[in-house]
Amino acid sequence: MNIHARWQRAHGPSLGQARLKVEIDDFIVDEDLGFAPDGEGEHLLIQVEKTGMSSFALIDALAQRCQVPVQSIGYAGLKDRWARTRQWLSIHLPGRDAPEELDGEGWRVLARHRHLRKLPRGSHRANRFRIRLRDVDLDELQLQARLQSLRDLGVPNYFGEQRFGRERQNIELGLAMLGRWQRLRTRRLPRREAMWLSALRSAWFNKVLSARVAQGSWNQCLDGDVLMLDGRQSFFHPQAEDAAIVARLAALDVHPSGPLPGRGKPVVNAQVAALEAVVLAEDSEAIAVVAQLLEHDRRALRLRVQNLQHERCGDDLCLSFELGRGAYATVVLQEIVDLVEGDHHGQEEGGE
């Protein structure tokens, strides 16, 4: 696998350069659950604001504070370390409550409610972002045209670089561990190894998506495609004679999908199956090992950017927008500018 590959842009060349995450409040994420707490049950649902710590560090700290195993804590998504983020977590506390004082260094509890169920991964509706890009020198007309293009057409739904760790080391670590997991013949992955495996599948998805961006088909339905409803995980095979599909694609109601390789026969066929096979040919041996551990899945190739607004803040550019779960804010930013990130670049980003 070429771990140093960079993915294709869909909206043209960069309009300039910008510095990201200079200060911790340059990157603000607010997780939207999309549903109300039950108000009763064995789980405590809490909204937490954190700064300067990862979601996993927060989970470990809450488990220690509440004297429960980490498995008793549920979360909808992971959030950046170097950012101000607000997210929801659940703590299984049957017959008792959490300590009255739950705040700790780097986090504070904003709300707490009883809930019937553990909060599962990916159960939130969306994430809202407010991002400050520093030292930006962009032509205003070009910027407005680019932002309108993002609103109208969406952006390629790449996994962000945060997924792969510093210098993409998670991919290298994932490749190195595959032989070990093959020998152990286990399907239960510790958290760290699961992250490496996820990074591998994310990189394979990005390769396929980048190839379709280069081909100009990332937002079109090719022969043999399967489509996904916007904001939904399920996919379907479109009917060849369904003329409404073109209109639904233009309206960002449905999107083509790409592979998260694993066990099972590919659900695509014809032109798309051939394209994915060619793009992933050099990774076939690694994919065969992953297929012993995980089921094949799909992810939308395109991402809708909602409520995209901008304002000039002196020499800086402030952007606000909303993305569905599983999406990365940096892939939106990279369709506008080249990003220069500081030393605080983390492995998590809101949307996971």
> How far is 175 from 45, CA to CA, in rounded Å?
37
Which amino acid makes up residue 200?
L
| Whether residue 80 lies in the annotated active site | yes
Whose CA is closest to 250, among 182, 140, 152, 160? 152
> How far is 13 from 15, CA to CA, in rounded Å?
6
> How far is 209 from 258, CA to CA, in rounded Å?
7
Tokens in use for 106?
Answer: 């780097």
What is the gyration radius of the CA atoms in the chain, in angstroms?
Answer: 21
Strand boundaries in 61-142, DSSP class E: 73-75, 84-92, 107-115, 126-133
Q: Do the beta carbons of residue 252 and residue 300 sit within 8 Å?
A: no
Catalytic residue among 26, 30, 80, 283: 80
Place of tokens 């051939």: 274
Q: What is the DSSP string of 33-102?
A: -SS---S-SSEEEEEEEEESS-HHHHHHHHHHHHT--GGGEEES----SSSEEEEEEEEE-TTS---S--
Place of tokens 């050099």: 282
Active site residues: 80
